[in-house]
Amino acid sequence: MRRRWLAAVAITMAGLLGVTACGGGNTPAGQATDGATKAASSDVEVFSWWTGPGEADGLAAMRKIFETQNPNLKFLDAAVAGGSGDKAKALLQTKLQGGEPPDSFQGHAGAELQGYIKAGQLEDLTSLYDELKLKDVFPAQLVEQISVDGKIYSVPVNIHRSNVLWFNPAVLKEAGVAGAPKTIEEFIAALGKVKAKGKIPLSIGSEWTVTHLLENVMLGSLGTDGYNALFKPGANWAAPEVTKALESFKTIMSFAGDPQDDWQPAAKQVADGQAAFNIMGDWAYGYFHNPPDGGLGKTSKTDFDWAPAPGTEGTYLWLSDSFTLPKGAKNREGALAWLKVAASKEGQDAFNPKKGSIPARKDADAALYTDYLGDALKDWSGNKLAGSVQHGVAVSQPWLTAINEQVGLYLGKQDVAALQKGLADAATANAQ
């Protein structure tokens, strides 16, 4: 199993190095190349990794609003496909270091942006928040968690939820499991019942999905306040309650099936009735629900169902796609016009139903969000918030890299004490 994970990591790193080395082969629309004419001042280059079904449709819907409101501006879609954003981030770093920033780029709101902020590559958007009164329409906890030293550097356009337990109702019924387990202990018991019936208790994907699972187990075991405290300076990662959470993680991982290539085939095992459970973000809903040309075409509440990950009910483990204003943007005013659309109720309600996410704003048109999205919208407005580790909210990119290294080592040795020490060392080196 460990060899398979190592092979997947090697392939991913080779792809990233290829992107960084080739550079010009992935030049997005509107970026000048050698001997080419730079984009005209009316062009607004928006850099993202939204190229797939749903996300590209959502971006196109916001683009239409932007161009209608700003007929003198031209939207340049500089989306980079592949790598779940990794390829885009590698190319973006090359552009920023080369002094050729896009006018606005997508990033995960929260600690992921700290590297750009420390490097002086982003403008403070607090004045835009004041102008648009965004602190009144974004949840206070969200504003707090995306602020750095009292300043805000991004505009969240959506909210995804990380702590979702996806399950197959028929497999649970066959195993004698009455419903979605609500606690870590109930979850472990349910996994055992499924295993006894010969089905895969828990499906997992590539190595990053294990970190995703770990953050959910930590939240479910420690509770919201205990989880959030881990990412503050001076946090005690050596505490006995952290040990207990990691022991639960080890037990849960003992029920995992063979690792799949990524999250989609792991989710498909649940939809096809091969596995009982999968813990994944709510982007899985679109994959389950969308027609076969872009998803699996499954029926909710019959082929698949959902609940908060065990122990996390009442907490929204969140992540957010957001847009920034880089320093040195060629069309700063155009970028601000784009950010106003991204922040607006109209823009977010046009984008999110197509993307399969919910708006960051509290005043969304609830009629546009049904089925899973209806549940998510309701929970977002009333739950406590905790930031995702794997998806850039709770930790910086170097800290996440250190965490993923420790998870990788754990998969080889399954040593909880070594994992806890490694996580404690990563926190000491990176928490600020």
pLDDT in tens, 379-406: 988 899 999 999 989 999 899 999 999 9
| Model confidence at 23: pLDDT above 60 | no
385 domain-assigned: no
Rounded alpha-carbon distances, angstroms, from residue 379 to 164, 223, 225, 308, 317: 12, 17, 18, 10, 11
Q: What is the mean pLDDT of the chain?
A: 89
Sequence-ordered alpha helix ranges (H) in 23-138: 55-69, 86-97, 114-118, 126-132, 134-137
If one counts the domains in the chain, the total is 2
331 domain-assigned: yes
**Contact in structure between 320 and 109 (CB atoms under 8 Å):** yes
| Model confidence at 250: pLDDT above 70 | yes
- Identify whether residues 170 and 265 lie together within a single domain: yes
78 domain-assigned: yes
- Identify whether residues 329 and 298 lie together within a single domain: no
User: Checking DSSP bridges between strand 160-161 and strand 315-319, what pairing results, if any?
Assistant: antiparallel
**Contact in structure between 290 and 298 (CB atoms under 8 Å):** no
- Identify whether residues 274 and 401 lie together within a single domain: yes
269 domain-assigned: yes
- Identify whether residues 126 and 212 lie together within a single domain: no
pLDDT band with cut points at 50, 70 and 90 for residue 35: very low
- Identify whether residues 84 and 204 lie together within a single domain: no
Average pLDDT, stretch 291-316? Answer: 94
| Model confidence at 6: pLDDT above 50 | no
83 domain-assigned: yes
pLDDT band with cut points at 50, 70 and 90 for residue 83: low
Most confident of 226-235, 287-296, 376-385: 226-235
pLDDT value of residue 295 = 84
The domain that holds 68 is classified in CATH as 3.40.190.10
Q: Which two tokens stand for residue 344?
A: 């607006």
Please indicate whether residue 293 or residue 124 has the higher confidence score (pLDDT).
Answer: 124
Whole domain around residue 281: which residue ranges? 161-317+393-430
Average pLDDT, stretch 49-57? Answer: 84
Q: How many CB atoms lie within 10 A of CB 429?
A: 10
Closest CA relative to residue 8, chosen from 84, 79, 81: 84
- Identify whether residues 309 and 374 lie together within a single domain: no
20 domain-assigned: no
- Identify whether residues 207 and 236 lie together within a single domain: yes
41 domain-assigned: yes
Could you report the per-residue pLDDT of 145-165, keeping only the tens digit for each? Answer: 889 999 999 999 999 999 999
**Contact in structure between 137 and 343 (CB atoms under 8 Å):** no
- Identify whether residues 244 and 165 lie together within a single domain: yes
- Identify whether residues 81 and 168 lie together within a single domain: no
pLDDT value of residue 25 = 33
- Residue type (1 letter), 63: R
- Identify whether residues 256 and 400 lie together within a single domain: yes
